[in-house]
Amino acid sequence: MSEVVENEKTGALAGMAADWSSDQRAFKGVPWHKAMMWVFLLSDTFIFACFLISYMKVRITTTVPWPSSSEVFALTINGHHIPLLLIAIMTFILITSSGTMAMAVRFGYQKNKKMTGLLLVFTALLGASFVGMQAFEWSKLIFEEGVRPWGNPMGAEQFGAVFFMVTGFHGFHVSVGVIFLIITAVKVLRGSYDNETPGFMTGRKGNYEIVESMGLYWHFVDLVWVFIFAFFYLW
Amino acid sequence: MSEVEGQQHPISVYFWVWGLLFVFSAGSYAVDYMALQGNLRWTLILVFMFLKSGFIIAIFMHMVWERLAMVAAILVPMGCLLVFIGLMALEGDYTNLTRDTFFSPAPFVPVEHAVQH
């Protein structure tokens, strides 16, 4: 690691040129699985961008009024009609889980087994509750509001197609994230990263940097929700 | 080696950003709760969205502490998306125009030269 050049603001461009033209390794000081996680997230960004851009396009092209998401996703509690309530709660849950994940990564840097494991478990629980609320939201929309991928009683037919496609794909990402959070938490808590035990599909030694890659994925899932929330639910 | 590659940041940074994310989320929900409409609504939605995503990428995903070679490799390709969005918005407007022109129910126009019986 002796070739790592200080990344001063003034020399950032020169440093980048040196990094990219250097032998063996362009991303200095970055574990390989972290660089690969970033590349995967970049490709995932393009997938979600394609969904959101197609949503933009069907919404621009349709001549039928778009259903008001504020009304569609409103909940009535104790006689109070509150717009988008469930979605707001889901947003706050995901933000909370992002915070616990960031903390888990921080304690992972310090190789603090107990705190990292606990925070990962807590993040997984929050993620699972998010998926649960999404299941509630889907069943409410399907069984009570009569929303289908090919039509709905409120307006433009494409509303259902976009909703199930975008939130379904995001919910799938959250579910996969919860599974991997549990796997990572188990590995942390049983000491696989302290003892550098290899994983079951690889001969490479386990280490706490894996927590950081896990964190990148989880923050990305939250990031996608920020855009879905803004463009699908609020716009 | 792992000591060199790990990052250490004060815990207060995380708590500050965490708190800010809650504030921004509350802000974007308030846009809908107060039923703001028009340009004000769309501007606020975008402002809160970019603030939230910016802080998540920069601090929680540690992008501000990465070297430029890494940052550029991830962020520059996303510029393509802006071109994609622009193209699709342009074409979308055109499709909407043609649908309005050719596929909407024809308005009733009295026939001027109808044959009188």
Please list the residues that pair with A81 across neighbouring strands: A76
Q: Are the beta carbons of A232 and A163 closer than 8 angstroms?
A: yes
Q: Are the beta carbons of A15 and B69 closer than 8 angstroms?
A: yes
Residues of chain B numbered 60-99 and touching chain A (CB < 8 Å): 60-62, 66-70, 72-74, 77-78, 81, 84-85, 88-89, 91-93, 95-96, 99
What are the structure tokens assigned to A149, written together? 């991928």
pTM (2 d.p.): 0.88
pLDDT of residue A223: 96
pLDDT score of B28 more than 80: yes
Inspect the interface and report whether the beta carbons of B96 and A60 lie closer than 8 Å.
yes
Q: What is the ipTM of this complex?
A: 0.86
pLDDT (tens digit per residue) in A192-219: 888 888 877 777 788 888 999 999 999 9
pLDDT (tens digit per residue) in A35-87: 999 999 999 999 999 999 999 999 999 988 999 888 888 888 888 888 889 99
pLDDT score of B109 more than 70: no
pLDDT of residue A2: 42
Distance from CA of B55 to the nearest CA of A (A): 10
For chain B, give every domain's residue range.
Answer: 2-68
Confirm or reject contact between B116 and chain A (CB < 8 A).
Answer: no
Residue A192 φ then ψ, to 5°: -65, -30
Closest CA to A234 of B7, B47, B80: B47
A31-234 topology per CATH: Four Helix Bundle (Hemerythrin (Met), subunit A) (1.20.120)
Q: Are the beta carbons of A123 and A215 closer than 8 angstroms?
A: no
Least confident of A23-32, A43-52, A118-127, B106-115: B106-115
Q: Are the beta carbons of A184 and A206 closer than 8 angstroms?
A: no
What's the whole-number mean pLDDT along residues B11-15?
A: 90
pLDDT of residue B2: 41
CA-based Rg of chain B, rounded to a whole angstrom?
25
Confirm or reject contact between B17 and chain A (CB < 8 A).
Answer: yes
Inspect the interface and report whether the beta carbons of A38 and B70 lie closer than 8 Å.
yes
Judging contacts by C-beta atoms under 8 Å, the chain B residues touching residue A27 are 67, 69-70, 73
Please list the residues that pair with A75 across neighbouring strands: A82
Q: Are the beta carbons of B63 and B7 closer than 8 angstroms?
A: no
CA distances from A234 to A139, A174, A224, A230, B32 (A): 21, 21, 14, 5, 6
The angle subtended at Cα B28 by Cα B25 and Cα B31, nearest 5°, is 150
**Which residue matches tokens 């074409």?**
B91
% helix, strand, coil for chain A, step of 5: 65, 5, 30
What are the structure tokens assigned to B95, written together? 């499709």
Closest CA to A123 of A172, A181, A188, A179: A181
Please list the residues that pair with A77 across neighbouring strands: A80
